[in-house]
Structures are given as structure tokens and as C-alpha cells.
């Protein structure tokens, strides 16, 4: 059991990201951890503590695109630490993920596996990050005001400065609050893939081929959007 998120979160951010983001990253994560500790919600916070910063396991120097969502899936054991992704053992996929998979197949013709694990995209340099990195089981948006936005502001602002060819994909209003920080980056905005909004601009938006088109305009190779097939 993690004794204190205030102490744990700064230590969980990989060293390369600390160097990339600067010393304020530790202060922001410590402040978020303190807020979460004071709420005494450790047993109900999702994702699990060791997965909260999972998106940052990839090297910051490898980023090719960043897909931003709102906050983790609130259902028990759904959140994996990667925005919109679930672990392979999850058999009932969230509605947002089902819509992403449908758009993926329609847009670039990917053969879909049965699972909803999107971690293969991280190996292609796709940072899958939510605007707010935690919530409470059964309570979407519960941690929208604990300070996560300061940290994700820093992440996107730093990407825009250090890797301006990164394509920013902002799905939904929460993600699109980052738009002013994406100056100079190629950016794709649409409705959130949630069943409540997907038919108002997400489905048919072709974000995956758009990303590759924007990269091609900069002389960069396409992202392989394939997902790992089952063993």
C-alpha cells in the first residue's frame, strides 16, 4: 500500500520527464498528492497508484502525437493509466473506447483485436494522457479541481516548445482547454468519443489519418495505428 501520494507521485515520474519538465513538475505532483491524501480516498482512487503516471513511461524524446482525454474511466478496474485504454483482461469495453475502435477501423482499416489495450500506440510515440489523471471509482470528474490541470498544462506547454512537430489530438471540451498552449503544434480537435457526444463530431472525423497527413506535411513517417493481436 502506498503510504502517501504526496511523496509517491513525484518519485513515480521517470527521471527523463523530470529533466524535461523542470523542477516545477515535482512541486505540482506533490501538491496533487497532498490534496488526494487529505481526501482520504486511497482505496477508491482510480487508476491504482502505480499506474497514475503510466503514460510517462515512454521517453519524452520519442513523442510523435499526444491524445488528450478528460479523466480516467470511473468504473472499477477499468482505468489503466493510459487515456482511453483498458487492460487486455477487460472484456466489456467502455462506450468511448468502442467508438474509438469503430473510428479506427473506419478511418484506417485496422483489424481490431478483441481487447481494448491501446498500449501499442505508446511504442509508436503516442502519449495517451488525460486532462486529470485520477478520479474516484463511480464518480467521473471527482478530481477535476485537485491540481492535475497545472501538471498537464506543463506537459503540453513543454511538448509545444521542445517537440513542436508533435500532433495534438484534443477530444472533448476538457482536453480542448489545452488548445491555447498548443501554439505552433499541428492540432486536431473534435467532440469526445463518449456515446453522449460521439455522433456530434467524433465519428467520421478521421483523426488517425489526419495525424499521419499532418506528419507527412512535415516530412515525418506515419504512425502505425495497429493494435496488438491476441497471442
Q: Say which DSSP state 128 is in.
A: E
CATH classification at residue 203: 3.40.470.10
Write the pLDDT tens digit of every residue in 34-66. 999 988 766 699 999 999 999 999 999 999 999
State residue 65's pLDDT score. 98
**pTM of the predicted model as reported, rounded to 2 decimal places:** 0.95
CA 59, CA 93: separation in Å to the nearest integer? 28
Q: Is residue 229 part of a domain?
A: no
From the candidates 27, 37, 61, 71, which is the catalytic residue? 71
Burial (CB < 10 A; 0-12, 13-18, 19+), residue 9, is: buried
Q: Is residue 84 part of a domain?
A: yes
Q: Is residue 224 part of a domain?
A: no
Average pLDDT, the chain: 94
State residue 136's pLDDT score. 95
Write the pLDDT tens digit of every residue in 181-218. 999 999 999 999 999 999 999 999 999 999 999 999 99
Closest CA to 170 of 56, 81, 65: 65
Q: Is residue 228 part of a domain?
A: no
Neighbours of 187 (CB within 10 A): 18
In percent, the amount of the chain with pLDDT more than 70 equals: 97
Write the pLDDT tens digit of every residue in 74-89. 998 899 999 999 999 9
Q: Is residue 169 part of a domain?
A: yes
Closest CA to 162 of 185, 189, 191: 185
CA 96, CA 24: separation in Å to the nearest integer? 33
Q: Is residue 222 part of a domain?
A: no
CA 36, CA 106: separation in Å to the nearest integer? 40
C-alpha cell at 83: 487515456
List the domain range (segments joined by +) for residue 45.
5-217
State residue 54's pLDDT score. 98
CA 11, CA 113: separation in Å to the nearest integer? 35
pLDDT of 3 above 80 = no
Q: Look up 71 and say whether it is catalytic.
A: yes
Q: Is residue 225 part of a domain?
A: no
Phi, psi at 112, each rounded to 5°: -90, 135
Total domains present in the chain: 1
Amino acid at each position: 500500500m502506498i503510504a502517501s501520494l504526496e511523496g509517491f507521485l513525484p518519485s513515480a515520474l521517470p527521471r527523463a520527464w523530470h529533466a524535461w519538465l523542470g523542477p516545477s513538475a515535482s512541486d505540482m505532483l506533490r501538491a496533487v498528492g497532498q490534496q488526494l491524501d487529505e481526501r482520504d480516498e486511497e482505496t477508491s482512487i482510480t487508476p491504482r497508484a502505480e499506474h497514475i503516471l503510466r503514460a510517462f513511461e515512454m521517453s519524452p524524446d520519442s513523442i510523435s502525437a499526444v491524445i488528450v482525454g478528460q479523466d480516467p474511466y470511473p468504473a472499477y478496474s477499468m482505468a489503466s493509466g493510459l487515456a482511453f485504454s483498458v487492460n487486455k483482461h477487460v472484456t466489456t469495453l467502455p462506450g468511448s473506447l468502442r467508438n474509438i475502435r469503430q473510428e479506427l477501423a473506419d478511418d484506417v482499416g485496422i483489424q481490431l483485436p478483441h481487447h481494448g489495450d491501446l498500449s501499442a500506440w505508446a511504442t509508436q510515440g503516442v502519449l495517451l494522457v488525460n486532462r486529470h489523471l485520477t478520479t474516484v471509482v463511480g464518480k467521473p470528474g471527482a478530481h477535476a479541481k485537485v491540481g492535475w490541470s497545472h501538471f498537464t498544462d506543463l506537459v503540453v506547454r513543454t511538448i509545444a516548445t521542445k517537440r513542436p512537430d508533435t500532433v495534438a489530438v484534443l477530444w472533448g471540451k476538457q482536453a480542448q482547454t489545452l488548445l491555447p498552449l498548443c501554439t505552433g503544434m499541428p492540432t486536431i480537435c473534435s467532440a469526445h468519443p463518449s456515446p453522449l457526444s460521439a455522433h456530434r463530431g467524433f465519428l467520421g472525423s478521421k483523426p488517425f489519418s489526419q495525424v499521419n497527413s499532418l506528419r507527412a506535411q512535415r516530412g515525418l513517417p506515419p504512425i502505425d495505428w495497429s493494435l496488438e493481436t491476441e497471442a
